[in-house]
Amino acid sequence: MGFAKLAFLAMELAVSLRSLVVLLGSFPALSGVDLDIQSGEIVYVRGANGAGKTTLLRFCAGLLNFYSGEGQVLGFDIRDANSDTRQMWRTQVGYLGHETRLYPDLTAQENLAFLAKLCRAEMAALQYGVERLELSQELLATRVGSLSAGQRRRVALAGVVLRSPKLWLLDEPHASLDSRGRSCVDQLIVDAAKAGATLLVVTHEPVAHELLEAVPADLSVGESAASGSATAGSEAAGSASGGSAIACAPGSSRLVELSGGAVKGNR
């Protein structure tokens, strides 16, 4: 698919990548990814260790440069090296990595307030994040260094929520969370997608069937140029195959498998 067409689709596709190669040092962490994600879609990414999941997320967050390929993320041409463009791209994503990116010497509240100031988020957004992640006043007033791993993870997630991102990039959001935390996160993901955000979620666990089916099956097929069958809502591994943009309703989800730094079954 030519890039001119991609630009045409840019308004509907939150992420559109073609033959993307990303190097970490001189190792091709991504060896040629073709991936289209509709706005409002939830895409779960699964794959073995070293398949390139984290790199895919970091790339989509605008944190990494690429070696070859083309595409766009949130309408930003990935080839545009302009630092202002890059900055605007980055401000619109919410990325949760392996690290929680919190200062252990500050309380959860202070950490979140600092994050809010860095991305100029409203205090209301911060409050919303606190409520969604069910952070108690007691927890907020505690130094992050003395919180448990799961609690820290929830604070970090609140830090993502307060950004009100258009594109959520969550790297194993369930990691170290208890069952209550997990359902909290699952609900958060679904609600974000329903509100029009796009989500790319790395997971090691089998994605719960009811999660993938949390979306009504009667999908309205959008005006996409490609004629992909709308298989969203079922476990359609590999449905991101080259060039078939799948139109879907906000909140619909699918599973994509990554291996060897490429989306499975794309060749």
Partner 1 sequence: MNTSDATPGHLSLMGILRTSWHIWRKDLLIELRSRVLLNQILPFAVLVLMLFAFALDGDSTTLEFFAPGLFWVAVLLAALLAIGRSVATEQADATMDNFRLGSSSPVAVFFGKTLVILTQLLVLEIVLAVGVIVFYGARLSEPLLFVSTSVVATSGIASAGTLYAVAISKLGVRETLLPLLLMPALVPVLIGATRAFGDALGTAGVNGWQWLGLLGAFALAYLTLGALVFGSLLEEN
Partner 2 sequence: MTTPTEVENPRSEPAAAADFFAVNSIADASVSTGSATTKVLGWLTLAGLVVLLVFAFIISPEDSRETADGAIIGQFDAVRLLYLHVPAAVFAYVAFALTGLGSIIYLWKRSRWWDHVAHSSAEIGVVFCGVTLLTGVIWGRPVWNTWWEWGDVRIVTTLLLFLIFVGYLAFRSVPSEPRRQARNASVLAIIGALNIPVVNRSVEWWENRTLHQQSTLEELKIEDATLLTLMIGFAVFGLMFLWLLIHRFRVAWLAEEVEQHGLKQALRRRREEAQREAMVS
Q: Does 222 help bind partner 1 (rule: CB under 8 A)?
A: no
Please tell me whether residue 19 binds partner 2 under the rule CB under 8 A. no
Distance of CA 17 to the CA centre of its chain: 14
Question: Which residue type sits at 154?
Answer: R
* Backbone torsions φ then ψ of 226, nearest 5 degrees: -85, 160
Which of 204, 168, 208 has the alpha carbon at shortest distance from 188?
Answer: 168
Counting contacts by CB under 8 A, is residue 237 touching partner 2?
yes
B/e letters for 89-119, b = 16+ CB within 10 Å, e = fewer, are beebbbbbbeebebeeeebbbbbbbebbeeb
**Per CB under 8 A, which region of 50-58, 111-119, 142-150, 192-200 contacts partner 2?**
50-58
Site for partner 2 in 60-99 (CB under 8 A): 65
105-124 residues in contact with partner 1 (CB under 8 A) are 105-106, 110, 114-115, 117-120
The residue ranges of DSSP E strands in the chain, in sequence order, are 13-24, 27-38, 42-46, 68-73, 76-77, 93-96, 167-171, 198-202, 253-259, 262-263
Closest distance of CB 163 from partner 1, Å: 8
3-state SS class at 161: helix
Q: Which of 2, 4, 83, 267 contacts partner 1 by CB under 8 A? A: 83
How far from 27 is each of 24, 67, 234, CA to CA, in Å? 5, 11, 34
Question: Which of 128, 232, 132, 233 shows the shortest CA–CA distance to 187?
Answer: 132
- 17, 20, 35, 93: residue in contact with partner 1 (rule CB under 8 A): 93
Residue selected from 10, 24, 190, 211 as contacting partner 2 according to rule CB under 8 A: 24
By CB under 8 A, is residue 112 in contact with partner 2?
A: no
Which string of DSSP letters, residue by residue, matches 169-235? EEESTTTT--HHHHHHHHHHHHHHHHTT-EEEEE-SSPPPHHHHTSS-S-PPP---SS-----TTS-
Residue 237 contact among partner 2, partner 1, none, beta carbon within 5 to 8 Å by kind = partner 2
Map the footprint of partner 2 across residues 238-267, applying CB under 8 A: 238, 257, 259-262, 264-265, 267
Q: SS3 for 19?
A: strand
**Stretch binding partner 2 (CB under 8 A), from 42-50, 120-128, 145-153, 183-191:** 42-50
60 binds partner 1 (CB under 8 A): no
Decide whether 118 or 221 has the Cβ nearer to partner 1: 118
Q: Is residue 187 at the binding interface for partner 1, with CB under 8 A as the rule?
A: no
Nearest to partner 1 of 119, 226 (CB atom): 119
- Give the span between the Cα atoms of 48 and 28, in whole angstroms: 16
Residue placing its CB nearer to partner 1 in the complex, 97 or 150: 97
Q: Does 8 bind partner 1 (CB under 8 A)?
A: no
Which residues would be at the binding site for partner 1 (CB under 8 A)? Answer: 11, 23-24, 61-65, 74-76, 83-84, 87-93, 95, 97, 99-106, 110, 114-115, 117-120, 143
Which residues would be at the binding site for partner 2 (CB under 8 A)? Answer: 21, 23-29, 31-32, 48-50, 54-55, 65, 237-238, 257, 259-262, 264-265, 267
